[in-house]
Structure 1
Amino acid sequence: MRAGFLSLIATAVTLVAPVVAQTCNSGSICGSSSSPFYRLNTLSPVSDHFYTMSSTEYIDTLIRTDISTVAEGVAAGIFATQEGATVPLLRLYNNQPYNDHVYTIDANEAAALEAEGYGLEGTAGYVYSEQVCSAVPLYRSYNSELGDHFFTTSLDEHNTFLGDGYVDQGIACYVPVAGVVPSQDVC
């Protein structure tokens, strides 16, 4: 059991270690660096895709839930502090009837979700509300049978989930791609 646990931690560290921060050199956010937005999938009792900018929370979640959580690497990049045109990405959680994390930049949607029983866990980080500085769409989908919101920058992966019973909820926001440093003229 201990060897399996150590292997799980080694896998998590491997996924976290190679991520490179992104710097965007536009006039409004010159020198700002994004941080990796990690993705996990808790499989028990049902699927809950969970995203965090904290490598500590990422590893702690793997440790706490042991084998029922799968480390899925880095979903995107987001900013730790508000930079230039970025807006807060709010994180909400509801454990009834399913465990479900949802992320939104819309304060009205967050209030509506709170009225439905979700609790506001705070700001996950900062993202763009529109496409700027080589940012890419963060697609959002939802499966009501699983009670799971799923986010990805990959249109192919998004479409795969739509084929597996998820409903398209559009573009949640725009994010930098983790591990990429755009050139001066990209912004």
Structure 2
Amino acid sequence: MSISYFSDSRGNFGYYNINTGAAEVLATGSVVFTDIAISSTGQFYGITFSNLYTFSFSDGYVVAKNVGALAGGGFNSLEFSEDGKLYGGSGRSVYEINISNAQTTLIFSDFSSSSSGDIFINGENLFLSTSANRLELLNLSTLSVSTVVENTPSSLFGLADTPAGLFGFAGDSIYSIDVDTGVTTFAREVEFSNTLWGATYYPDAAEKHATGVWRFFNTETGSHFYTNSTAERDAIATTLPNFVYEGNAFDVASSGSGDIDVFRFYNTETGTHFYTASELERDNIINSLSNFAYEGVAYKAYSDNGDGSHEALYRFYNTSNNSHFYTASDAERDYIISTLGNYSYEGVAYFIDIV
């Protein structure tokens, strides 16, 4: 799953799922960052046109600390290099920024046009999106500059270099950018009303904002129970000895990145739970099966495989105890199909995050 953190024009900070187009605001603050970056230790940095900040978020609020003023002003792009140096773009120049005191050191001042809003760094190559609708490359060793992509979208404010490729945010659209071929391709519409001003990728962003689903085996009913609530998991583990904890079964989307809801029912006759992402199935159960108590939305999931970034969750019906079983393991699925005749395979239930 390719997830980019973002800052927007209204002081919001959140993350964006490039595969699904969904955004989730994690926190809001009084400081509007023109761009953001994350150090190798996971520390968030943000810039306004004239200041450098560190920031964190708690209980829905961005907590920003002013590191210092940036000499010259006009800064609108920020990124860390692989060796831990922080670079910022202002006008036609790029500076190295001291993360302790915000002091700037001029690195290069001869881009063909001004920074439009972001940079990304790959090895010794620093790429700058410019107001002339170009992506220019600066070699940090030789200080030679060249244009690698012509005709980039206007107002390309955010760049996120992810394992799925380089993506740019412009207006209400996301674009895939190939720096080797110089081709920019429309990827999808942005499902967010505010203007994204800054973007950055961090390797464990998907892990930070995916939700674990934990599995228990109920020795009394012979069925399995699934929950993504740590409180519910811990309560069951400490108070219900007939529930054997089997660990993290799979990961599902956070509330902002999944595109479908998974609904949970409790079967009062069998003491088992049932999960479905089908609204039609949900409504049919509510209207016709009075022994199923509707417990609401359990978690978020995906309706497709996200071009390989999501994996299938398989569903079985256990004819012995009238319960359902779910697994993301191909090996477990195949074993059940080949050896357990009382399990009827019902196919893919929905799609989840790859663990």
Above 0.5 in TM-score? yes
User: Within the alignment, does 1:90 sit opposite 2:69 as a pair?
Assistant: no
Matches within 5 A, 1:119-130: 119-130=293-304
Aligned-pair RMSD on alpha carbons? 2.0
Matches within 5 A, 1:16-95: 24-25=3-4, 26-27=17-18, 28-29=21-22, 33-44=209-220, 46-66=221-241, 68-83=242-257, 86-95=259-268
| 1:53 shift after superposition | 0.7
Tell me, in whole angstroms, the C-alpha distance in 2 between the residues paired with 1:24 and 1:48: 35
Tell me, in whole angstroms, the C-alpha distance in 1 between the residues paired with 2:255 and 2:210: 9
User: Within the alignment, does 1:155 sit opposite 2:330 as a pair?
Assistant: yes
Do 2:253 and 2:302's aligned partners in 1 also have CA atoms closer than 8 Å?
no
| 1:146 shift after superposition | 1.5
| 1:113–1:64 CA distance, 2 compared to 1 (3 A) | farther
Q: Quick one: percent identity of the two aligned structures?
A: 24
When structure 1 is superposed on structure 2, of 116-125 and 156-165 the one drifting more is: 156-165
Q: TM-score, normalised by structure 1?
A: 0.74
Q: Which amino acid aligns with 1:39?
A: R
Matches within 5 A, 1:107-146: 107-114=279-286, 115-116=288-289, 117-132=291-306, 134-146=309-321
Tell me, in whole angstroms, the C-alpha distance in 2 between the residues paired with 1:161 and 1:64: 30
- Residue deviations 1:5-44 (CA, integer Å, cap 9, x gap): xxxxxxxxxxxxxxxxx76344324766211111111111
Do 2:311 and 2:354's aligned partners in 1 also have CA atoms closer than 8 Å?
yes
Structure 2 partner of 1:14: none
| 1:129–1:47 CA distance, 2 compared to 1 (3 A) | same
Tell me, in whole angstroms, the C-alpha distance in 2 between the residues paired with 1:55 and 1:23: 25
User: Within the alignment, does 1:177 sit opposite 2:354 as a pair?
Assistant: yes
Tell me, in whole angstroms, the C-alpha distance in 2 between the residues paired with 1:132 and 1:148: 29
Gaps of 5+ in 2: 5-16, 24-204
Gaps of 5+ in 1: 1-21, 179-187
Number of residue pairs matched by the alignment: 153
User: Of the two, which has the highest radius of gyration?
Assistant: 2
Tell me, in whole angstroms, the C-alpha distance in 1 between the residues paired with 2:281 and 2:255: 22
Q: Which has the higher contact order (CA 8 A, sep 6+)?
A: 1
Q: Which amino acid aligns with 1:47?
A: G
Q: Which amino acid aligns with 1:171?
A: V
Tell me, in whole angstroms, the C-alpha distance in 1 between the residues paired with 2:272 and 2:331: 23
Tell me, in whole angstroms, the C-alpha distance in 2 between the residues paired with 1:151 and 1:24: 26
